[in-house]
Structure 1
Amino acid sequence: MSDENTTLVPPGIVREYSLDVVEGVLNADGFDRHVNAFDGVYPGPKIEACWGDTLRINVTNKLSNMGTTVHWHGVRQLNTSNMDGVPTTQCPIARNHSFVYEFVMYQYGVSWYHSHYSLQYADGLAGPLLIYGPSSDHWDLTPDPILIADWVHGSAFDEFVHEKSLAAGLAKTDSIVINGIGNDPLNTTRTKQYSITPFQPKKRHRLRLINGSAGTSYVFSIDGHNLTVIAADFVSVKPFTVKSLVIGIGQRYTVTVQGLDDPKAAGSNGKYWIRTHPADGCNNFRTGVFNSQSSPAEIFDIRTAYVQYSNANTDAAPPSVQLSNEPCDKSLEPVVNWTIPATPLNNITQSRFLPAFQKANDSMLGEAGNYTHWMLRLPPDVEIPSAGRPFHQPLWLDFGKPTLLNVTDAVAEANYNVVNYTTYPTNEGYVFMVIDGRNLPLNDSNVFPVAHPIHWHGSDVVILGQNTTAFDPLTSPDTFQLDNPPRRDVVIVPAGGWVAVAFRPDNPGSWLVHCHIAWHASSGLALQMIVQGDDIVDAIGQDAIDDIGRECKVWERDVKKGGILLKDDSGI
């Protein structure tokens, strides 16, 4: 079992898929709404492969007013950064045009794929990505994956208007759907519908949990059952058992659940609720905001799905409540041990980034961007020494100018938010980064105590430390865990606290680091790392760069035709 040494990856085969990005109308929770979806369904079709396989996926854009891209969430894309599917690595796929993604799966586990073109994934462009490989526990049965998402009745693009200023009230969602099935809390006449996960008595079930939401993290539990965690994101961990599990946006867990000997004991009918309680500080629904003190019934029912045993009755499942808001990252002990050197390759003081919100409209971004933005900025006292220029602006990309096409121009563009990690040895240490979310008023922006699920592209990051207190550059590094710390690709920055991570700068490319709250990412809470910039062409090949240029010309011609929806966000 290895998630580091690529020479140990088994030989695989090429697995081919085809996806059409189409418009349609879906009724997931009793409310008809317009969606963009893969092959017209939500979630999109399962994409499955084995560890070591090559995935070749042809994506055709059939949307009428937008381009698109597809990101393979958590996939490291070793030496294939051009296949990451984001606007820094490619121009959008033009309308009535196809693009082929091809990459080797050096990792295994559960993930998802989704559009990374503005807010498209929040409008339905998401599906499960399942890579089979070794495991740290055994099981008997594997039901379909469980993709949890919040659901917006209008367009996510329209909802984004509410995120453009604090006075607008922030973006809101309407309901929770499990595998595309949910219940509109304002519809009291419709018979409730639920996603059902089949269970067998005395059998051990492997569940694959995915949070594909736009703005909500969850406390996941199953009434009457414990969850044994065996993987977090793409990292196998030593098994540990909990009653509930906090799942941040973009995070995934693989768990095993032991089936009951007698599912109908003590008057049960053989059905048990799956509960997805929105986590404290990590939700904003139109009917209210959940917290651990509120009664869920005041906002809407958080019983959103259920497991059903083979001998279950047909009547309703009995109620019970299990709640916990304690993130379990501290319990994650990877099976494959990494030891991190205490001294980083970089100056950690100059790699401390603040998730901040502008105090005034950003007039530098033209009419479309003239509003207050989220951003991932450097502290004022280090931005010049670290970046060589001011670094306190939101990410704002030009769809026609992806970073990989001209890295030098991207580095020079202030709103491309480039952090350059080019001059370090590739196999002799780690770069340390800190995301510092303390409540910190600045001259032009504020750092509010809000929890942010931060996603790193191009690498699993080591979680050196995670705390709800303010980060102290002098003393906090003394608390870092260096012996086999947790690893994953989405890490929750606690409200008012901090997260310190480390990664090896050994994967040449342009890699996004962004909040996975869709509204925050669209607002500009992101940066991009240029890792080993001098080696990018050697890693992906000149042909790949030429292909990016050709696709950008196709996109440019499509834009000139007219009818493309005005870009009014970061692009990611």
Structure 2
Amino acid sequence: MANREDFSHALLLFCSLGIFFLQTEAAVKMYQFNIQLRNVSRLCHAKPIVTVNGMFPGPTVYAREGDRVLVNVTNYAQYNMSIHWHGLKQYRNGWADGPAYITQCPIKTGNSYVYDINITGQRGTLWWHAHIFWLRATVYGAIVIMPKQRTPFPFPQPDREDNILLGEWWNNDVEEVVRQGNKLGLPPNMSDAHTINGKPGPLFPCSEKHTFVMEVEQRKTYLLRIVNAALNDELFFAIAGHNLTVVEIDAVYTKPFTTHAILIAPGQTTNVLVQANQVPSRYFMAARAFMDAPLSIDNKTAAAILQYKGIPNTVVPILPQLPAPNDTAFALSYNAKLRSLNSPQFPANVPLKVDRHLFYTAGLGMNSCPTCLNGTRLTASLNNITFVMPQVGLLQAHYFSIKGVFTTDFPDRPPLAFNYTSAPLTANLGTVLGTRLSKIAFNSTVELVLQDTNLLTVESHPFHLHGYNFFVVGTGVGNFNTSKDPAKFNLVDPPERNTVGVPTGGWTAIRFRADNPGVWFMHCHLELHTSWGLKTAFVVENGKGADQSILPPPKDLPSC
């Protein structure tokens, strides 16, 4: 690992889509790299996949709080492409956020686009990924933002840092898998394996050479930067014989607590400290899906090895005790322990007065589909609205006042109140299609309650809000009670995140201040659900100040 003081001087190469940057104290310089198809061998055979700089996962972007990062992406793959910088706030600069047809048109094959990013007021672990179709299955990597010079971590300094990226692997072209599912009107096939740093580990056939190994020295402390890049699975993660001390989530410091396992939803990041204080040996790191809904469980376990220095590879690793795949009690207990650090240096500025109360119901449904083999197609909705992707970037349409692209009449509440989490309902309750957004006044405070429903089935939904962090002030199982539940909100040190899991058959309440003008996507980070329409966007109006308006678009903004 490079020394922390060297990060702001390092040449950082990024993208076989094509990405890069060189960050020094004196200047920002740019180099060109490309997005391409590359053969990558996993499990029992090789196949061509879309990669960044020929790497799977892609390279880590290192920066420091206050840096300006330029990433030049050139697309040589056969798919249109865009890259989202997940968790970066992109103040006034949605043009660099990346979701296709939301803040930009995608980068067409043979074309380039420069993401110009200023990292302000953030430090910690985030990540980047493709934000079009299901291509983030292979196009993703970590973002590591170091604190400002001479600013220590608010926890014991680790001896070394390592990135742990949890993901999925398909033996077939994931886009073809999706097309086959759409033809049937059914969910696509599950992944063939879970992965740790792109490798499934020795619990799979034909995978002897595809195991990530992390060597450690006894009595040293390691900071693991863990990212869940999986498309469709919340994951448990543990290391046999070793405790994990959680110190950060979604690039926000937390009150430290120790646990034998963590739960991490797609889109989330978690930093943990691990002490190499056990008998020198080989220990499995393992990740397995959490699913407490009455659905098929993807119980494939990915494994990597934590190996003490000097221990031969012939020693059989010890397996960790992961929670059961449907261990709801552990999931709720773990999430309840997450608290913002809320120190004088890193305060939790929770909005105490709310200007706008929103209540969104998330549900699954089934629509008629004459072209599907089954005659029906699964769908998803927020407040009974299934989002229709536009053919023009929403931010561009908003900035240039292009009419007919979207409306701003997304309802603050569902059109029909019912017993959201009772016995399964088979109707869609009048689900409609539309590109309907919600307009939010600049600098207003928003409280949003996300409620799971039992339309077809209850299921957990990890929601991600672009352009913002938010405070998770409350969560519960069952229907949100407007007269009782707000009294139990944590308004002192709630966890601050950019992605939150709505529990199966339950609700989550978040608060944020709308101080970042632009068009900001909000969607379920289960790729299956977002592709079915479980998404919307906020149009945050400009403020009156000179620095409270959307910046002009860059000259190389891709066209549709």
Q: Normalising TM by the smaller chain, what interval?
A: 0.7 to 0.9
- For the residue of structure 2 that corresponds to 1:394, the secondary structure is strand
Counterpart amino acid of 2:340?
Answer: P
Mapping 1:395-410, distance limit 5 Å: 395-406=387-398, 408=401, 409=403, 410=405
Task: Tell me how far apart the structure 2 counterparts of residues 158 and 192 of structure 1 sit (CA, whole Å).
Answer: 27
CA offset at residue 216 of structure 1? 1.3
Residues 128-156 of structure 1 show CA distances to partners (whole Å, capped at 9, x for unaligned) of: 11111152212332243010101111122
354-363 vs 537-546, which moves further: 537-546
Alignment of 1:136-535 (within 5 A): 136-161=154-179, 164=182, 168=186, 170-183=188-201, 187=205, 191=208, 193-260=210-277, 263-264=279-280, 270-281=281-292, 289-290=297-298, 300=300, 302=301, 304-324=303-323, 325=327, 326-327=330-331, 328-335=334-341, 336-346=346-356, 348=357, 351-361=358-368, 372-378=377-383, 392-406=384-398, 408=401, 409=403, 410-412=405-407, 415-422=434-441, 424=442, 426=443, 430-439=445-454, 446=455, 448-533=457-542
Mapped pair 1:89 → 2:103 = yes
CA contact (8 A) 2:244 2:259 kept: yes
Counterpart-to-counterpart distance in 1, 2:203 and 2:282: 22
Q: Are 1:17 and 1:47, in contact at CA under 8 Å, matched by a contact in 2? A: no
**Which SS does the other structure have where 1:145 is aligned?**
strand
Deviations 1:380-410 (A, max 9, x none): xxxxxxxxxxxx3322223434333335534
After superposition, the CA RMSD in angstroms is 2.9
- AA in 1 matched with 2:279: P
How far off its partner does 1:457 sit? 0.6
User: What amino acid does structure 2 have at the position aligned with 1:402?
Assistant: L
Q: Which amino acid aligns with 1:75?
A: L
Q: CA deviation at 1:322?
A: 1.6
* Contact 1:233–1:488 (8 Å) recurs in 2: yes
TM-superposed deviation, 1:533: 4.9
Alpha-carbon spacing, 1:146–1:190, altered in 2? closer, same or farther (3 Å): closer
Cα shift readout 1:215-267 (whole Å, capped 9, x = no counterpart): 1111110011010111001101121111100011111111111111x533xxx
Aligned residue type for 1:487 = E
Q: Is the 8 A contact 2:394 2:519 kept in 1?
A: no
Contact 1:91 1:402 in 2 (8 A): no
**Distance of 1:130 and 1:275 partners within structure 2:** 23
| Count, aligned residues | 490
Task: Go from structure 1 to structure 2 and tell me whether the alpha carbon gap of 1:476 and 1:362 turns closer, same or farther (over 3 Å shift).
Answer: farther
Describe the SS at the equivalent of 2:63: strand
Deviation at 1:191, TM superposition (A): 3.0
- State the partner residue of 1:385: none
Contact between 2:203 and 2:303, CA under 8 Å: does it hold in 1? no
Distance, in Å, in 1 between the alignment partners of 2:309 and 2:202 is 28
Change (3 A) 1:15 1:77: farther
**Contact 2:159–2:220 under 8 Å retained in 1:** yes
The yes-or-no answer on 1:56 pairing with 2:70 is yes
1:437: Cα distance to partner? 0.2
Q: Would you say the 8 A contact 2:43–2:207 is kept in 1?
A: no
- Whole-Å separation in 2 of the counterparts to 1:19 and 1:281: 42
**Which range is displaced more, 473-482 or 504-513?**
473-482
Match of 2:34 in 1: 20
Amino acid at match of 1:273: F
Q: Which residue of 1 aligns with 2:128?
A: 113
For residues 57 and 438 of structure 1, what CA distance do their matches in structure 2 show? Answer: 40
1:52-87 CA distance string (max 9 Å, x none): 1011110001012x2111100111111111110112
Change (3 A) 1:303 1:186: closer
**Separation in structure 2 between the aligned mates of residue 179 and residue 471 of structure 1, nearest angstrom:** 38
Deviation at 1:94, TM superposition (A): 1.7
In structure 1, C-alpha distance between the alignment counterparts of 2:543 and 2:42, rounded to whole Å: 47
Q: Which runs of 5+ in 1 are unaligned?
A: 1-10, 265-269, 291-298, 379-391, 440-445, 556-572
The offset of 1:474, in angstroms, is 2.7
Deviation at 1:512, TM superposition (A): 0.8
Range 523-532 or range 336-345, more displaced: 336-345
Identity of counterpart residues, as a percentage? 24
Alignment partners' CA distance in 2, 1:447 and 1:75: 35
Name the stretch that deviates more: 171-180 or 219-228.
171-180
- 1:542 Cα shift? 6.1
CA gap 1:40/1:85 in 2 versus in 1, 3 angstroms: same
Q: How high is the TM-score relative to the length of structure 1?
A: 0.79
Structure 2 distance, partners of 1:205, 1:533, is 43
Amino acid at match of 1:256: L
Give yes or no for contact 1:339–1:482 (8 Å, CA) kept in 2: no
Show the counterpart of 1:127.
141
Letter matched to residue 255 of structure 1: V
**1:537 to 1:211, Cα distance in 2 relative to 1, 3 A:** farther
- More strand per residue: 1 or 2? 2
What is the rounded CA distance, in whole Å, between the counterparts of 1:30 and 1:534 in structure 2?
A: 56
3-state SS, counterpart of residue 158 of structure 1: helix
Report how far residue 163 of structure 1 moved.
5.4
1:409-440 Cα offsets, whole Å, 9 max, x none, are: 34428722311113x5x1xx62000110032x
Q: 1:186 to 1:484 in 2, by over 3 A?
A: closer
